[in-house]
Amino acid sequence: MGTEIERKFLVEGSDWRQGKPVRLTQCYLNRDEHRTVRIRIAGEEAFLTVKSVTQGATRAEFEYPIPVADAEQMLKFSDGPLIEKDRHVVVLDGCRWEVDEFHGDNAGLIMAEIELTSEDQPFSRPPWLGREVTHDRRFYNSNLAAHPYKEWR
């Protein structure tokens, strides 16, 4: 088991763009607030990931590599729209940011995540960092699958 502590922010402008992103396609096999089961295809790899209840910004996470062919089949089980996004990795002052640019029903949404070793770990804020949304459930990927960004407006 890993423990995941991450903070999430909206993103402004486009100064974060660099390098080639990885396309992520994912769905959730459940809609339970207390635990999520995610199928993700990331380029040539695929993963099944279980995450437990969020407590603050901390989650228990179990991730297993699975065959891409299995993941493709399981994406069809999803009854919500798939989440499709390009993940850009931006390293800045020794911090690794993942900037997710959403497509499909979530187009227009760009979010940056930073993984921390403790919830109060300090980090430098890049100039393109917008409002923090770590605790805003609307921005959970599991929620975006059920209630995509295009429906918000």
- Positions touching a second copy (CB under 8 A) are 1, 29-32, 34-35, 37, 48, 50, 52-53, 60, 62, 64, 66, 69-70, 73-74, 77, 79
Nearest-angstrom CA–CA distance, 115 and 86: 18
Structure tokens that stand for 90 in this block: 């931006």
Q: Decide whether 7 or 59 has the Cβ nearer to a second copy.
A: 59
**How many beta carbons lie within 10 A of that of residue 145, not counting itself?**
22
Nearest-angstrom CA–CA distance, 87 and 81: 19
28 catalytic per annotation: yes
Backbone angles phi, psi at 125, to 5 degrees: -90, 115
Q: Decide whether 66 or 92 has the Cβ nearer to a second copy.
A: 66
Structure tokens that stand for 110 in this block: 């760009």
Is the distance from CB of 28 to CB of 38 less than 8 angstroms? yes
CB of 54 to a second copy, least distance (A): 12
Among candidate residues 28, 64, 140, 149, the one labeled active-site is 28
Q: Decide whether 1 or 44 has the Cβ nearer to a second copy.
A: 1
Q: Decide whether 5 or 10 has the Cβ nearer to a second copy.
A: 5
CB of 148 to a second copy, least distance (A): 19
CB of 87 to a second copy, least distance (A): 24
CB of 107 to a second copy, least distance (A): 27
Is the distance from CB of 12 to CB of 109 less than 8 angstroms? no
Write out the H or E segment, with its range, that includes residue 73: helix 68-75
Tell me the one-letter amino acid at 41.
I
Catalytic residues: 28
